[in-house]
Structure 1
Amino acid sequence: MRIFIFSLLFLCTGMTASACKIELTPPHVIVRFGGSVSANCSTSSCSELEGMGWESPLGGQGLTRGVSSLPFHIAKVDVWDVYSQCFITMKNSEQKLENLDVTVYKMPEIVSMPQPVDEMVEGEWYPIHCDIIDVAPVKYLFVLFHKGNEIISNQTFDGVSKTPVNRSSDYKLKVHRNDDGNEIWCEAQLNLWPAEQPSLTMRSRSHGINVLYPPTFTEPENETLEVPANEKITLNCTATGNPVPTYRWRFSHSSQEMINIQNVEKPVLMPSFQIKGTYSCTASNKQGSTTKYFTVIEVKGNRTTFAVLLAMGLFLGVLVIGTGLFLVKSDGKFSCNRGNYQPTSSGPIFPAELPGLFKLEFSVSRRFWEENIMGNNFLTWILIFCMFCSVSGEGCSLILKPSRVVVGFGEPVSVSCEAARPVRVLGWESAISATHTQEDRSVQWKVDSLIDWIEEPICYGVFYTAPRQCEEKLNLVLYKTPDSVSIKQVNHTGPMVEGKEYQLLCEVQNVAPVQYLTLRWYRGQTEVYKHSFSDLTSSSPVQVSSTLVITPTKAENGAVYRCVAELELGPEGPQPPPTVSSEQLTSSVYFPPTFLSPDMEILDLTLDVEITLNCTATGNPAPVYSWESSQPLQEKMEGEAIVTTSSLLPGTYTCTASNTLEKKSKQFIVKAKTKGI
């Protein structure tokens, strides 16, 4: 019976403890490192509750009796793992625990993205890197890459570390022309709360994207324009590209009377006159080029009007001829007789009666008609009339003053174009300073500072008489002296060796126009070679070089070489022609020893009389001398080219002169001779 009662009490006690529920408010705390934490622990439906408390290394609170709710507060969170528990104690000493979930976070110290490459090429892939320094906890970290208003990548990180870590993220970006000018950056996010609450974010510095791409026309299709005669045309070749495109216009035609418009560096062409033909516009930058074609067709005029005019002309011609045949009598004299009426010289007479139709008759002086108007030469006058009705052609009379201009880069230029006959429009077609005038017979092309290397000004005229359109292209030479002229040996350094072949290279930097350039090679003051570049056609500055092949001799040791760039621009150019000289190159030529007197010498030795053995040789490097003999040598002979002594013994003495190239020897035979003989 006692066992039953004890068991019943135990079961009742267990039911009371399990019925108690602990509620934490809030159940999950997110706190910045160094911040404060507050929470509350409460319970209900616990009839046998003894009390409750908090366990925490950051300031727990012991059992507090008689309460069903107990707050908890941490003034400063300075640890990364916060352990906190709320506990309740029943009267039977039974306890129940509930952990408070605390997340301690720290925003990154630094979020950085290094500057990508300055220039990106369309279609290429480029690495983008992002560094996140000192962030916690890593499992909540997201790294986003932004391009303009678009998120192009979203990366997460695995990890259980609650303490701050460093992380990096990489992304490969394929650029398109639409990306040009956009900004890219990376952003670190800590997604600590549910999706409906904002994340904590920190972004890097943004960087602009510079995408290089070839030109593309805003209207890429080729165009055909039907333009009425004498109406102006507008050709739009605008293209997008990076770098900004440059434009080159060309006009192909088959008639020499058509105006050739070339090298106009602007996207919109508005010629001062309209000529049918094919215009091509090439837009270029360093990424590529593309060409668009405009076909201009002249709309035919109203042929009805032309037919009416032609018919009227023919009718008048027939009328004149018919009238002449009717009014000229058989003797070739003109008569205005109508019916039986005879004209008089008194003037016009109008009949009193006009039966049936109106009659108009004139009386004129017979002599006038015979001598000045018709007479016997009626058909001749008809031909003269026709001649005056025709239009005789004249030559195209445009005169350029001067006809050839030579101007230095950046210098001013002025040229006058004059028309030798009445002109409707006179003008200059040019990429810069284009101009035109109406009626005036002179127009000037003037540029304060000419820096356009492909400028080709054309004077054009639209005339009243045929040929109605013609042109004169200015012979313009824009020149620039070289930035530098240098000279050096090719594939060799140091001294040269006599008899071997060597090359000297002369390099000219940034000279124009190259076809007028002459490179002159000098050894000392003597011109040894001249190199012209007349086969080249570039009008803009170029780099050119010239090679001089030499086979030096010992006589050329110490010779000074130089090259001189000379622009021979003709009589219109500066006189004397501008020149730029290189620095001097002094040649050092190695050659083997050569004795001043190479033949063997026989010397007579007289007692107590000095004799001289001269072994002097020339060479480069300077020769070193040594002596050999069957007789004992004197110490003073070693290394000497000339030996003067009176103590030599008869015998053969051999002198050797040597340098790094060769050794050469010379013999001296000394014979004894008695004094006085």
Structure 2
Amino acid sequence: MLSCYLFLIISLMISFRDVRVSTFDLSCTSPVFTPSALVVKYGDPANVTCVVCQKDCSGDSFGLEHAVGKVTQNGTTMIWTVDRLTEWDTFVVCYYNNDAGAQCFSILDITIYQPPESVSISFVNHTGMMFENQQYTLQCSVQNVAPVQNLTVTFYRGNTALGHLQSNSEEKKPVNETFSLNITPSREDNGAQYWCETKLELGPSGPQRPPVVISEKLPAIVHWWFTDPSCTEFPVFTPSALIVKYGDPANVTCVVCQKDCSGDSFGLEHAVGKVTQNGTTMIWTVDRLTEWDPFVMCYYNNDAGDPCTHILDITIYQPPESVSISFVNHTGMMFENQQYTLQCSVQNVAPVQSLTVTFYRGNTALGHLQSRSEKKKPVNETFTLNITPSREGDGAQYWCEAKLELGPAGSQRPPVVTSEKLPAIVHYGPELKEPPNPDVITITEGDTLHLNCSSVGNPSPSYTWTLPTNSPSYSGSVLTIKSVGFEHEGQYICTVSNPIGTVTKEFNIDVQVNSIPYIIAGMILGALVLVGLSVGCYCKHN
């Protein structure tokens, strides 16, 4: 029975690694692990000591459950050791039964880590020289690292940190992950070296010098158009920025200059589409915009021979192909006041940095999330949110909404895609509806007794009554005795149970003598005496 109970506990708790110690009863004094948490490199040895209890152990009903390794015992002290820790989902549970019969346990918090096997840096969809004031995406690829949620990636230009990124993944086993950062180089960056650094931040229980792996250095060659301060005007695009759905047509007009153009030294550079010209006005059109990194630049040389340029700001978007919601590592019923993780999976969306994901319970917004990715092309992204359901949430429906917020130049009705509805079944222990009873309930002999033990719970609770000696057995939420006698005096205990928990309610009944029949009998007797006396007197006088 105990092993089955522990298996249920471990199954429920293994997903909640931030819960370090759990007990089922407030009377429990938790077993104590030393150290209180383990941070172990994959393949290294490990050991921990558990003092099960100091004084409250009941017989031999204590021990230490473990998935790997071995246990040695010295009284109520358990020592767990493993020569090579190679299980990513291992568990160690220390438990005992106290004198009240409650089962008390602690689950050891174990973090198994593996530094990155390799780290590399590159540009996304770009090689060779770069142009000043154009946006490029740096990509840091990290191979075979765990746990990835503890990884911090920092991008550098020379010795200058450009940004710190972390993963949204909750995966415990080694993964490959890519982190990206947008940069807009200037002429001062020509010849600079870009690189990235990964650091596993494992907290106070981890190595005092966190594992660090760095990439190679990536040199940057930056080309620029020289724009002299003597330029009195710059090319003007209409509209000033383009936001285009992938595959749609697009067009823009550029007035190169009004008065400062020098001969024929002006034009419009473009990667796709075509250009028509009317004097110093350039019109760029494309039938289907299917390039994720298009480039449109309007330029001219002024009378001094200096170039003046303007690069069009273009955003290409694609609404999510699909949006779905689920629980992470959980199916079926949930338990009140336990933590669960909702997951919203968004497929094939761009640009993901413009995406806002909102989680809902019914019509109530639970949280808004955005991606840290700077990728321009369509990606699949997963967003997670922790929830702690209550009994009021039983039967509620969870869902998520993905909205592309494209700014004032975008559509006035941002593209929105919603997930299906995910119903929640929340189980919780019994709770009594009626307030506590007085210490003693006094009732008169012959009256009707009602003892109310009604409660709520999910699943619906069952009722068991413990009655005074010689009282009949009973089951149900309300016990009724139509005519109380002295044999019904005593203590009534109602036990309310469901698979989640048990509560009890006590009723102490005192039955008092019903004096009314005696008073009536006395009155009748008195009346009879008076009648007898009256008859006697009458007979005497006659």
TM-score by length of 2: 0.51
Q: Please state whether the residue corresponding to 2:410 is helix, strand or coil.
A: coil
Match of 2:355 among 517, 525, 528: 517
Summarize the Cα distance change of 1:665–1:294 in structure 2 as closer, same or farther, 3 Å threshold. Answer: closer
| Alpha-carbon spacing, 1:392–1:592, altered in 2? closer, same or farther (3 Å) | closer
Q: Pick from 451, 462, 465: which aligns with 1:624?
A: 462
Within 5 Å, give how 1:27-106 maps onto structure 2: none
Whether 1:609 aligns to 2:447 is yes
SS in 1 for 2:395: coil
Deviations 1:419-447 (A, max 9, x none): 2233525433222114364x721111112
Partner of 1:644: 480
Amino acid at match of 1:494: G
State the 1:626 CA deviation: 0.8
Letter in 2 for 1:594: E
Is contact 1:251-1:262 (8 Å) kept?
Answer: no
Opposite residue 415 of structure 1, the aligned amino acid is V
1:566 equivalent in alignment to 2:406:
no
Aligned with 1:395 (options 221, 224, 232):
232
Correspondence for 1:508 among 341, 346, 365:
346
| Alignment map for 1:535-574 (pairs within 5 Å) | 535-574=372-411
Q: Which of the residues 472, 484, 487 maps onto 2:322?
A: 484
1:445 aligned partner, one-letter code: W
Look up the SS of the partner of 1:630 in the other structure.
Answer: coil
**Closer/same/farther in 2, CA of residues 675 and 447 from structure 1, 3 Å limit:** farther
Deviation for aligned residue 1:673: 3.0
Letter of the aligned partner of 1:572 in structure 2?
A
User: Which of 414, 420, 425 does residue 588 from structure 1 map onto?
Assistant: 425
Partner Cα distance (2:436, 2:222) in 1: 89
Check conservation: 1:405, 1:475, Cα contact below 8 A. Answer: yes
Higher deviation after alignment, 608-617 or 654-663: 608-617
Asked if the contact 1:393/1:465 (under 8 Å) is kept, the reply is no
Output one character per residue of 1:364-402: Cα deviation in whole Å (capped at 9) or x when no partner: xxxxxxxxxxxxxxxxxxxxxxxxxxx994335200001
State the partner residue of 1:661: 500
Say how many residue pairs are matched.
304
Task: Tell me by how many angstroms 1:528 deviates.
Answer: 1.9
Q: 1:467 to 1:538 in 2, by over 3 A?
A: farther
2:521: which partner in 1?
none
Q: For the residues of structure 2 that align with 1:605 and 1:294, how far apart are their CA atoms?
A: 97
Amino acid at match of 1:523: R
Which residue in 2 is equivalent to 1:454? 293
Q: Which residue of 1 aligns with 2:255?
A: 418
Q: In the TM superposition, what are the counterparts of 1:192-231 in structure 2 within 5 Å?
A: none
* 2:366 maps to amino acid: V
Contact preservation (8 Å) 1:250, 1:261: no
Per-residue Cα deviation, 1:509-563 (whole angstroms, up to 9, x for no partner): 1111011111112222222211122x42111111111111122222322232221
> For residue 427 of structure 1, what is the aligned residue in structure 2?
267
Equivalent residues in 2 for 1:309-348, closer than 5 Å:
none
Q: CA deviation at 1:505?
A: 1.0
1:656: how far off? Answer: 0.6
Q: Which amino acid aligns with 1:542?
A: V
Given candidates 233, 240, 243, the residue that maps to 1:406 is 243
How far does residue 464 in structure 1 lie from its aligned partner after superposition?
5.2
Aligned mate of 1:575, from 397, 405, 412? 412
The aligned amino acid for 2:243 is V
Matched with 1:159 is none
What CA deviation, in whole Å up to 9, does each residue of 1:455-504 have, x standing for no partner? 23222x23352354332111111111111111111112221212222111
Instruction: Give, in angstroms, the shift of residue 250 of structure 1.
Output: 5.4
Equivalent-residue separation in structure 2 for 1:392 and 1:591 (angstroms):
72
Structure 1 residues 514 and 452: alpha-carbon distance in aligned structure 2, compared to 1, 3 A threshold? same
Letter of the structure 1 residue corresponding to residue 272 of structure 2: I
Q: Distance in 2 between matches of 1:527 and 1:248?
A: 40
For each residue in 1:148-169, what CA deviation from the matched residue of structure 2 results, as whole angstroms up to 9, or x when unmatched?
xxxxxxxxxxxxxxxxxxxxxx
SS for the counterpart of 1:410 is coil
SS of the equivalent of 2:353 reads helix
**Shift of residue 261, structure 1, vs aligned partner:** 11
CA gap of 1:597–1:572, structure 2 versus 1, over 3 A, is: same
Rate the CA distance shift 1:481–1:632 in 2: closer, same or farther, 3 A: farther
- Alpha-carbon distance in 2 for matches of 1:569, 1:430: 23
CA distance in 2, matches of 1:401, 1:588: 55
Unaligned 5+ segments in structure 2 are 1-123, 138-189, 191-217, 517-542
Write the deviation string for residues 26-46 of structure 1: whole angstroms up to 9, x where unpaired: xxxxxxxxxxxxxxxxxxxxx
**Distance across 2 between alignment mates of 1:294 and 1:676:** 109
Change (3 A) 1:262 1:448: farther
Question: 1:371 is matched with which residue?
Answer: none
Tell me, in whole angstroms, the C-alpha distance in 2 between the residues paired with 1:600 and 1:417: 84
DSSP-derived class of the 1:566 partner: strand
Structure 2 counterparts to residues 112-131 of structure 1, below 5 A? none
Equivalence for 2:37: none
8 Å CA contact 2:244–2:250 kept in 1: the answer is yes
Distance 1:416 1:249 in 2: 30
- Which amino acid in 2 is paired with 1:448? D
Residues 242-257 of structure 1 correspond to what in structure 2 (within 5 A)?
248=126, 251-252=129-130
Q: CA offset at residue 586 of structure 1?
A: 2.2
Question: Do the aligned residues in 1 keep the contact of 2:353 with 2:374 (CA within 8 Å)?
Answer: yes
**For the structure 1 residues 294 and 405, does the alpha-carbon distance in structure 2 shift closer, same or farther, using more than 3 Å as the test?**
closer
Kept in 1: contact 2:442–2:512 (CA 8 A): yes
Partner of 1:131: none
Counterparts of 2:426 and 2:136, CA distance in 1:
54
How far is the alpha carbon of 1:248 from its aligned partner?
A: 4.9
Q: Equivalent residues in 2 for 1:343-362 (5 A)?
A: none
2-side partners of 1:599 and 1:586: how far apart? 35
SS at match of 2:244: strand
Alpha carbons 1:615, 1:641 under 8 Å: kept? yes
C-alpha distance 528-510 of structure 1, shift in aligned 2 (>3 A)? same
Compared with structure 1, are the counterparts of its residues 654 and 565 closer, same or farther at alpha carbon in structure 2 (3 Å cutoff)? same
> CA distance change for structure 1 residues 605 and 631 in 2, over 3 Å: closer, same or farther?
farther
Separation of aligned partners in 2, 1:445 and 1:478: 16
Cα distance change on mapping 1:410 and 1:676 into 2, 3 Å:
farther
Cα distance in 1, alignment partners of residues 361 and 304 from structure 2: 61
| Aligned residue among 473, 476, 479 for 2:311 | 473
Partners of 1:568 and 1:577 within 8 A in 2: yes
SS in 2 for 1:555: helix
2:94 alignment partner in structure 1: none
Structure 1 gaps, min length 5: 1-245, 264-277, 279-290, 297-390
Classify the secondary structure of the residue corresponding to 2:392: helix
Letter in 1 for 2:362: G
Higher Cα radius of gyration: 1
AA aligned to 1:475 is D
In structure 2, C-alpha distance between the alignment counterparts of 1:396 and 1:631, rounded to whole Å: 104
Query: Tell me, what secondary structure is at the counterpart of 1:400?
Result: strand
Q: Taking structure 1 as reference, are residues 514 and 247 closer, same or farther at Cα in structure 2, changes over 3 Å only?
A: closer
Provide the secondary structure at the position in 1 that maps to 2:283.
Answer: strand
**1:565 shift after superposition:** 0.8
RMSD between aligned alpha carbons? 3.4
